[in-house]
Amino acid sequence: MFNVLWLQSGGCGGCSMSLLNADTSDFPAQLEAAGVKLLWHPSLSLACGDELIALLDDCVAGRMPVHALCLEGALLRGPHGSGRFHLLAGTGVPMIDWVRRLAAVAQHVVAIGSCAAWGGITAAGANPTDACGLQYEDDRPGGLLGADFVAAGGLPVVNVAGCPTHPGWVLESLMALADGSLGRTGLDALHRPRFYADQLVHHGCARNEYYEFKASAEKPSDLGCLMEHRGCKGTQAHADCNTRPWNGEGSCTRGGYACVSCTEPGFQDPGHPFHATPKIAGIPIGLPTDMPKAWFVALASLSKSATPRRVKSNATADHVVVPPTPKKTRLG
């Protein structure tokens, strides 16, 4: 069996909550069928206190093999590098020390969520706890384990980034590690699994017709594209949220919320309100990935001039006010 040890550090537990929304309610059985055994999870396991401490001691000593150390939440290094803002209950030992010890014996180390990957929300603002990710501080290599860290299995920290992560990203990453199919070529430049990070949130967005015609929402309830005025970064965010929606049907943009690019380093401090799009001379600063600004401006101008009345009317409404016109055929 491929043993997975899941620890939680500085975070909200949202990635574990997301895991509970997996396509199957019996995801432990799904993992077990793939040869993955969940040794311990802070919310899903019965063992606690002395039982957990004994398990961790066995892991560090090599008596219990750890094939994947999963960490949820940022690493709290404060105050003054001591890590004593977060002690593992019952041990008096800082969590950062436990993570270092366990990472040294684990075959793979997996950051679950953007807090564990980059520092995330926990590291926002003045960052009084000196929070960081396992191998990154925002987009800067380093973090708790250092830029040169490589686990025993030959991979750097695998960053399953997201706030929260999609349950499918977590389950598929663990199963791919278990069967040996996730190698270095399967990770992008920020060590995220490419099976989801090679996509953009924009792909499959239910608002794409509005985007194509630059028919934009102006207030939260509008149906139009959220990029121009409402802060959406779906054309820049690496994730497959709209082609692999939560529970088969949900995503941020489908729920009327702009994509805040939560899989990317530094998303927590964008320098502007999440619900607003910063602009220079009326042009959004955050343009689609790999698209020259001049091209975007030209395309946007042409698109707006060709916008059908139906699309323009619906974009600033909270329901479809002008339905598509039925096409005339020889039968009707």
In tens, the pLDDT along 202-218 reads 999 999 999 988 899 99
Is 222 found in the same domain as 164?
A: no
The pLDDT assigned to 140 comes to 96
Its pTM stands at: 0.92
In this prediction, residues 187-196 reach a mean pLDDT of 98
CA distance 20 to 313: 39
Provide the CB-side half-sphere exposure for 300 (13 A, CA).
Answer: 19
Question: Binning pLDDT at 50, 70 and 90, where does residue 180 land?
Answer: very high
pLDDT in the model for residue 56: 97
Q: Which domain holds residue 237?
A: 199-318
Whether residue 218 is found in the same domain as residue 181: no
Number of domains making up the chain: 2
Arithmetic mean of pLDDT, 286-299: 71
Task: Indicate whether 93 and 236 sit together in one domain.
Answer: no
Report residue 303's pLDDT band, with 50, 70 and 90 as the boundaries. Answer: confident
Provide the pLDDT for residue 260: 96
Given a contact cutoff of 8 angstroms between Cβ atoms, the answer to whether 285 and 279 are in contact is yes
pLDDT of res. 325: 84
Indicate if 174 and 231 belong to the same structural domain. no
Percentage of residues of the chain with pLDDT beyond 70: 98
The predicted pLDDT at position 203 comes to: 94
Label residue 73 by pLDDT band (50, 70, 90). Answer: very high
Residue 112 and residue 14 in one domain: yes
The reply to whether 178 and 239 lie within a common domain is no
Q: Are 52 and 198 in contact (CB under 8 A)?
A: no
Q: Prior bond to 79 cis, omega within 30?
A: yes
Cis peptide before 292 (omega within 30 of 0): no
Supply the mean pLDDT for the chain: 92
325 occurs within a structural domain: no
Contact between residue 130 and residue 84 where contact means Cβ atoms under 8 Å apart: no
CATH of the domain at 287: 4.10.480.10
Query: Per the domain annotation, does 87 fall within a domain?
Result: yes
Q: Is the pLDDT of residue 179 over 90?
A: yes
Q: Do residues 156 and 191 both lie within one domain?
A: yes
Q: Report pLDDT for 135.
A: 98
Same domain as 180, residue 226: no
Q: Does residue 223 or residue 331 have the better pLDDT?
A: 223
Quick one: 187 and 42 in the same domain? yes
Which pLDDT belongs to residue 332?
57
Q: What is the pLDDT of residue 295?
A: 65
Residue 219 domain flag: yes
- Own/partner pairs for 210-216, CB < 8 Å, 24+ apart? 210/311, 210/314, 210/315, 211/235, 212/303, 213/303, 213/304, 213/306, 213/307, 213/308, 213/311, 213/312, 214/300, 214/303, 214/304, 214/307, 215/304, 215/307, 215/311, 215/312, 215/314, 215/315, 216/315
**Final residue of a structural domain among 173, 197, 221:** 197
pLDDT at 20: 87
Q: Assign 331 a pLDDT band (cuts: 50, 70, 90).
A: low
Which residues share a beta bridge with 137?
Answer: 140
Q: What is the pLDDT of residue 81?
A: 96
Same domain, 134 and 208: no
Q: Label residue 326 by pLDDT band (50, 70, 90).
A: confident
Mean pLDDT confidence for 281-297: 72
Residue 331 lies in a domain: no
Same domain, 153 and 53: yes
pLDDT at residue 23 in the model: 78
Start-end of H helices in 4-73: 14-19, 27-33, 50-61
131 and 28 co-located in one domain: yes
DSSP result, 34-52: TTEEEEE-TTT-S--THHH
Distance of CA 45 to the CA centre of its chain: 24
